[in-house]
């Protein structure tokens, strides 16, 4: 009606790109292929230089591996793809507020000093945390490889 505001999603743009990039890299690493930042940005439809910054965060956090020079690029080892959980990516980029913080902005979420939405909100956060904790990069990547899931909106001008 008189909406003035944002298009806020659950995660930051940076985090969204980080998740999509990690999945894309994982789909290729299983085939033994390293992908460059250019390919990543193209495949997940994200701004290349910004995506590069996010890749740096992920590599520093040991979530993905990078190699410089000819034939270099990004990859994730088979073991890492199996062990890395979505929460590690979210945590590295957005921190833990989304699954730990108070829903309506109290400085901390506390059972002893709860806000009015605390009990209901806890359930939502809990489901989110469970999903983030259980989901592995492998699960996500396999769905993309099989063609069941996608990493970008399909573009009529392609």
Interacting residues of 51 by C-beta distance below 8 A, sequence separation 6+: 17, 21, 37, 40, 41, 44
21 C-beta neighbours (distance < 10 Å), count: 26
With CB under 6 A as the contact rule, the residue among 57, 94, 98, 121 that binds ligand FES is 121
55 binds, among ligand FES, DNA, its own copies, none (CB under 5 to 8 A by kind): DNA
Q: Does 41 bind ligand FES (CB under 6 A)?
A: no
75 C-beta neighbours (distance < 10 Å), count: 21
Smallest gap, in angstroms, from Cβ of residue 107 to ligand FES?
9
CA distance 26 to 78: 8
Q: Does 103 bind ligand FES (CB under 6 A)?
A: yes
Smallest gap, in angstroms, from Cβ of residue 121 to DNA?
18
Is residue 21 within 8 A of residue 44, CB to CB? The reply is: yes
Contact map string, positions 45 to 84, toward its own copies, x by CB under 8 A: ------------x--xxx----------------------
């Amino acid at each position: 009606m008189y909406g003035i505001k944002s298009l806020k999603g659950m995660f930051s743009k940076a985090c969204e790109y980080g998740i999509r990039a990690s999945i894309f890299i994982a789909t290729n690493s299983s085939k033994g292929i390293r992908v460059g930042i250019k390919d990543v940005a193209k495949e997940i439809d994200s701004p290349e230089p910004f995506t590069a910054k996010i890749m740096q965060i992920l590599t520093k956090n040991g979530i993905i591996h990078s190699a410089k020079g000819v034939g270099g690029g990004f990859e994730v080892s088979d073991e890492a793809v199996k062990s890395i959980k979505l929460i590690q990516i979210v945590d590295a980029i957005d921190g833990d507020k989304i699954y730990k913080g108070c829903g309506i902005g109290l400085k901390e979420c506390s059972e002893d000093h709860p806000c009015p939405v605390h009990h209901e909100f806890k359930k939502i956060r809990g489901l989110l945390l469970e999903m983030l904790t259980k989901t592995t990069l492998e699960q996500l990547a396999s769905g993309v490889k099989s063609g069941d899931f996608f990493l970008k909106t399909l573009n009529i001008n392609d």
